[in-house]
Amino acid sequence: MPEDTLNFKSVSVQQTRMLAKQLAETLKGGDCLALYGNLGAGKSEFVRGIIQTLNKNQIDVTSPTFSLVKPYKTRIGTVFHIDLYRLNSKNELFELGFPDILSQGVCVIEWPQLTEALLSKETLRICFETLGDSEREIKFEVNTFWRQRLSFINPLPTKSDEQ
């Protein structure tokens, strides 16, 4: 259960990636991020921002909807982008080797609902809500483990701040 939430409002893909970049700078091996939200809510753009920040070279980051897991070599080790949208049962998680993947690097999981029983209490849960065509609310469910690490994340500028 979260002790607190950090709420951010993004009005563009660039802002969503900016928030992801700030989070990426706090990540270390063994971290797990669980991303919740409807289709088109910005989860994949957020993951793209994390992986591009952690990679020395600009790389194409695509959602692993069909492969389910895509590993990326980064400056902090392997980051696993996991998309579980197409899974229907917990048995499929074990066939995928999901419990083993959790211990091999940073895991960023889209559609993590089936994994709840396998995720540690240190998992950072991030909820994406669509407010308009390009506007999103992004909520980090913060616990003791993450509170200090996230303390430096800045609010996203509002439209009036950007002008």
For residue range 135-156, what is the model confidence (pLDDT) as tens digits?
999 999 988 889 888 888 877 6
Mean pLDDT for the chain?
Answer: 88
Token pair recorded at residue 103: 């211990």
How many C-beta neighbours within 10 Å does residue 131 have? 12
Domains of the chain in start order, with CATH, are 4-152 (3.40.50.300)
Tell me: pLDDT of 157 over 70: no
Do residues 75 and 55 make contact, with C-beta atoms less than 8 angstroms apart?
yes
Q: Is the pTM of this model over 0.85?
A: yes
How many C-beta neighbours within 10 Å does residue 161 have? 8
Which of the four pLDDT bands, split at 50, 70 and 90, describes residue 92?
A: confident
pLDDT in tens, 36-90: 999 989 999 999 999 999 997 777 787 776 678 999 999 999 999 999 998 888 8
Tell me: pLDDT of 130 over 90: yes
Higher-confidence position of 153 and 20: 20
Do residues 10 and 154 make contact, with C-beta atoms less than 8 angstroms apart?
no
